[in-house]
Amino acid sequence: MTSDPAPVANAAPHLLDVRNLATRFATAEGCVQAVDGVSFHIDEGETLGLVGESGCGKSVTSLSVMRLIPTPPGEITDGSVLFEGTDLQTLSEREMRRVRGGSIGMIFQEPMTSLNPVLTIGRQITEALGIHLDLNKGAARNRAIEILARVGLPDPASRFSDYPHHLSGGQRQRVMIAMAISCNPKLLIADEATTALDVTIQAQILELLQSLCEELRMALLIITHNLGVVARYAQRVAVMYAGKIIETGAADEIYTTPRHPYTKALLSSVPRLDAITTTRLTSIEGEIPDLVNLPEGCAFAPRCRWVVDRCRVESPELGPSGGSHTAACWEQDRIDHDRLAELQQS
Amino acid sequence: MTGESRHADGERAAASSPDGPTLSVRDLQVHFPITSGFLIRRQTGAVKAVDGVTFDIAPGETLGLVGESGSGKTTTGRAILQLQRPTAGSVEFRGVELTSISAKKMRPFRSEMQIIFQDPYGSLNPRMSAGRIIGEPLTVHGLGGDQDQRLERVAELLKRVGMNPAMMGRYPHEFSGGQRQRIGIARALAGAPSFIVCDEPVSALDVSIQAQILNLLSDLQTEFNISYLFIAHDLSVVRHISDRVAVMYLGKIMEMATSVELYENPMHPYTRALMSAVPIPDPALERQRERIVLAGDIPSPINPPSGCVFRTRCPIATDECGEVLPDLVDHGGGHQVACIKV
Ligand SMILES: Nc1ncnc2c1ncn2[C@@H]1O[C@H](COP(=O)(O)OP(=O)(O)OP(=O)(O)O)[C@@H](O)[C@H]1O
Ligand SMILES: Nc1ncnc2c1ncn2[C@@H]1O[C@H](COP(=O)(O)OP(=O)(O)OP(=O)(O)O)[C@@H](O)[C@H]1O
Ligand SMILES: [Mg+2]
Ligand SMILES: [Mg+2]
């Protein structure tokens, strides 16, 4: 069952086209369906923001795309990941290694686990350059220093022979970013790449990534729980909740006319720098659901203001909300109607 | 009031409540010695974690403390609570000077001045039930009465922070992050505090849970007239919760004003850059906003720049900034700025 019925061959192919992806983990408590039928696409030069709260499946989605799910306990059970028209799931492990760090770069959530502690940072970058760009030693060294300078690492030439533990957390994260962009990837996946950094450093890094998208037509998948970052940098947004994308569309539409009650609630629960009054925040009652014991029907139903009987038995698919905007909610028309009524009142 | 009062003028507005401020901090300094040498350890320098911080907090008021990692926010909070002995300066709590007080005389203040931590998991004893964690301050400070009264009080506190008293017997690992933070808040409330240092209390929480905790903290403040020092690196959160905000950089306050004034009229180049770096969840607005991107990292506090500590990253710094140490000057209405260019 694919939610996008267009055949691969004749539609203008997306750079990355993920269809109906499903990934689960076997755990002591039971089976965790971490990603449950996720579809999205990204075009050249475009930035997609994948947002959602902790545990909703953002990282597992990106690791599944890169085929980095530890198996066991994890397993991709369904779906396809088309990159430039080729299903990455059909590649051999050797072919996949050329894709990783080559045409698809990735910045992981945990910098320390993805840098090799016994190799100098220079060596780690030049190694990747050797594999993917076929540069000789001197050229690779020059390119590595140039990229380290670009990500704002102070004094890159002398930092070249440092080991990861010599660097601060923020500097390590910049090295990770340098590695990920060193081979001019067509797609960069940035999983909470700047979350641990100070806002001024976050701004430096994200401005750099944005300029790479503009100059080199690089596509960017920003994974974050920060709704502000997505508003600033992404053209399109996909909102995840409990393993599913529950709303997606152009950023402007999602932020101004959210159709899914979760998106709506999420947006009104964050304090804004530009808020005029400091009144109470609209909080979402209850907790994020446990993926092992998901309720029947819509996973958001237990916390939803608009819940009706149907929501508790039948899980909604993404349905049209106008243009490219889709939301997985039975009651989305009523929610939109309520929003318009509220607008008229005020 | 002891210590320096060079900056005191701008503080009057905040201190204007009839009973005076709950907390008065004057020229607070915390320097950590750096030692070296193999057999004979010698002090070879100091980390100036907090370097001349002055502010007041009125009863029922929230002062937000923002700044990048390592700017000295946590150390300021710990020094106020005397969990870290200040190197110099004065901390007066309800008129009593705490920096020179004995551990014994400090004890009654320990229940009145509380702290809530960022990592609710790390700060809760994993081998104690929620009930014991919350009840312990009652026992320690002799506030609890007999066993039954204590249990009743714990149940009441759990209810007050939005939890089911039946959960009293559970252990920290059986709770979600948001619930653990509620337990941390209940424990702080047990001592009937009039002042709480909230050190990044919502930074580790998901946005939907963050809103619940921020609302809870506001409600408790209104109900019990508690003063907060609210430490966070998230400016949006700080703006939301605070009456006034102080912006720290390398151990110093760069700017301080009411929260509305600071966000509408930031004067210090660092505050301006910091605010422009915070994205607002509104794509249309974001397309129009000015972006000031600061180069480089925050310098090492071991060897801070001369003059203004921000000058190495400052877009408007001149040679003069390396020579003059800017004072925190009042620009009207308690809006204080430490910059010779404004
Ligand atoms: N190796 C694993 N074994 C078992 N469960 C896993 C494993 N990796 C992830 N999960 C589960 O899959 C779900 C989705 O996790 P994921 O890491 O994708 O969340 P996320 O959206 O990236 O959250 P965060 O914002 O905290 O990074 C979670 O419930 C998590 O516990
Ligand atoms: N016990 C200590 N010994 C030596 N240096 C310390 C000690 N505690 C803190 N420091 C240093 O003092 C400076 C200020 O640290 P502090 O923890 O107060 O910063 P912070 O503003 O709370 O940062 P963060 O946002 O990362 O929590 C840092 O440079 C830190 O390394
Ligand atoms: Mg993740
Ligand atoms: Mg701190």
The verdict on A274 touching B (C-beta cutoff 8 Å) is yes
Using a CB cutoff of 5 Å, list residues around ligand 4, an ion.
Answer: B 74
Residue B9 has a pLDDT of 37
pLDDT tens, A60-86? 999 999 999 998 999 999 999 999 999
Say yes or no: A265 contacts chain B, CB-CB below 8 A.
yes
B113-116 vs B195-199, strand pairing mode: parallel
**Please, is B240 exposed, middle or buried when counting C-beta atoms within 10 Å of its C-beta (0-12, 13-18, 19+)?**
buried
**Torsion over CA of A121, A123, A124 and A125, rounded to 10 degrees?**
90
Q: For residue B155, give the 3-state DSSP assignment.
A: helix
Q: Which residues line ligand 1 (CB under 6 A)?
A: A 25, 27, 32, 34, 52, 54-60, 70, 73-74, 109, 225, 291
Higher pLDDT, B330 or A55: B330
Distance CA A189, CA A63 (A): 10
pLDDT in tens, A302-316: 999 999 999 999 999
Q: Does residue B122 or residue A160 have the better pLDDT?
A: A160
| Residues whose CB is less than 8 angstroms from the CB of residue B28 and which lie 6 or more positions away in sequence, other chains included | B50, B52, B53, B54, B76, B79, B80, B86, B88, B89, B90, B91
Closest ligand 1 atom to A223 CA: 22
Task: State the best of B66, B174, B200, B206 to mutate against chain A, taking most chain A CBs within 10 Å.
Answer: B206
Beta bridge partners of B45: B34
Q: Answer whether A201 touches B (CB < 8 Å).
A: yes
- CB within 8 A of B165, min separation 6: which ones? B154, B155, B156, B158, B159
Q: What is the pLDDT of residue B80?
A: 97
B277 has a chain A CB within 8 A of its CB:
yes
Q: Which of residues 117-156 of A touch B (CB under 8 A)?
A: 152, 154
pLDDT at residue A111, rounded to an integer: 58
Please give the mean pLDDT across all residues of chain A.
89
Structure tokens at B58: 């009125």
Contact in structure between B183 and B124 (CB atoms under 8 Å)? yes
Q: Crossing angle of helices A121-133/A137-150, nearest 10°?
A: 120
- Decide: A215 and A207 in contact? Cβ < 8 Å: no
Query: Does any CB of chain B come closer than 8 Å to the CB of residue A170?
Result: yes
Strand partners, A47: A220
Ligand 1 pocket mutation pick from A24, A36, A54, A59 by most atoms within 8 angstroms of CB: A59
Q: Pull the structure tokens for residue B84.
A: 């870290």
What's the CA gap between A37 and A21, in Å, rounded?
5
Find out whether B256 and B244 touch, Cβ atoms under 8 Å: yes
User: Quick check: B291 and A203 CB within 8 A?
Assistant: yes
From A235, A266, A233, A264, select the one nearest A327 (Cα to Cα): A264
Q: Is residue A243 within 8 Å of residue A31, measured between CB atoms?
A: no
| Integer Rg of chain B from CA | 21
The DSSP letter of residue B23 is E
* Kind plus residue range of the DSSP H or E element containing B285: helix B283-288
Which residue did the predictor score with more confidence, A55 or B194? B194
> In 3-state terms, what secondary structure has residue B244?
strand
Please state, as a whole number, how many other Cβ atoms lie within 10 Å of the Cβ of residue A60: 23
Are A88 and A65 in contact, with CB atoms under 8 Å apart? yes
A277 Cβ contact list (under 8 Å, min separation 6): none
> What is the rounded distance in angstroms from the CA atom of residue A188 to the CA atom of residue A104?
6
Q: Digits of tens for pLDDT over chain B (342 positions)?
A: 333 333 333 333 333 345 689 999 999 999 999 887 777 777 778 899 999 999 999 999 999 999 998 899 999 999 999 999 999 999 999 999 999 999 889 988 988 999 998 876 678 888 999 999 999 888 877 776 788 888 999 999 998 888 888 889 999 888 877 888 899 999 999 989 999 999 999 988 888 888 989 999 999 999 999 999 999 989 999 999 999 999 999 999 999 999 999 999 999 999 999 999 999 999 999 999 989 988 877 888 888 999 999 999 999 999 999 999 999 999 999 999 999 999
Assign residue A272 a region (left: φ > 0; alpha: ψ between -120 and 50; beta: otherwise).
beta
| pLDDT for position A6 | 46
In this predicted model, what pLDDT tens digit does every residue of A256-278 receive, in sequence order? 999 999 999 999 999 999 887 66
Residue of B nearest to A279 (CA): B240
State whether A284 and B208 contact (CB < 8 Å). Answer: yes
Task: Name the token pair of B28.
Answer: 């607070």
Nearest to residue A22, comparing CAs of A78, A95, A103? A78
Domain coordinates in residue numbering, chain A: 16-234, 256-345
- At A91-116, the pLDDT tens digits run 999 999 999 989 999 998 765 567 88
Angle B130-140/B177-190 helices, nearest 10 degrees? 20
Please spell the DSSP secondary structure of B79-121, one letter per residue: HHTTSS--SEEEEEETTEE-TT--HHHHHHHHHHEEEE-S-HH
ipTM of the complex: 0.87
Query: With contact defined as beta carbons under 8 Å apart, do A128 and A179 qualify?
Result: yes
Residue matched to tokens 């004065």 = B90
Closest CA to B322 of B331, B334, B310, B332: B310
Structure tokens at A285: 């009652």
CATH architecture of A16-234: 3-Layer(aba) Sandwich (3.40)
Domains of chain B: 3-35+44-112+193-337 (3.40.50.300), 132-190 (no CATH)
pLDDT in tens, A313-337: 999 999 998 888 999 999 999 988 9
Q: 3-state SS of chain A?
A: CCCCCCCCCCCCCCCEEEEEEEEEEEECCEEEEEEEEEEEEECCCCEEEEECCCCCCHHHHHHHHCCCCCCCCEEEEEEEEEECCEEHHHCCHHHHHHHECCCEEEECCCHHHHCCCCCCHHHHHHHHHHHHHCCCHHHHHHHHHHHHHHCCCCCHHHHCCCCHHHCCHHHHHHHHHHHHHCCCCCEEEEECCCCCCCHHHHHHHHHHHHHHHHHHCCEEEEEECCHHHHHHHCCEEEEEECCEEEEEEEHHHHHHCCCCHHHHHHHHHCCCCCCCCCCCCCCCCCCCCCHHHCCCCCCCHHHCCCCCHHHHCCCCCCEECCCCCEECCCCHHHHHHHHHHHHHHC
Q: What distance in Å separates the CA atoms of residue A137 and residue A145, rounded to the nearest whole number?
A: 12
Ligand 2, atom 26: closest residue by C-alpha: B69
In this complex, do A283 and B275 lie within 8 Å of one another by their Cβ atoms?
Answer: no
A8, A69 contact by CB (below 8 A): no
Query: What does the pLDDT read at residue A113?
Result: 65
- B308: which 2 tokens? 């203004």
R_g of chain A, CA atoms, integer Å: 21
Q: Give, using CA atoms, the residue closest to atom 10 of ligand 2.
A: B49
Encode pLDDT of A209-257 as tens digits. 999 899 889 999 999 999 999 999 999 999 999 999 999 999 999 999 9
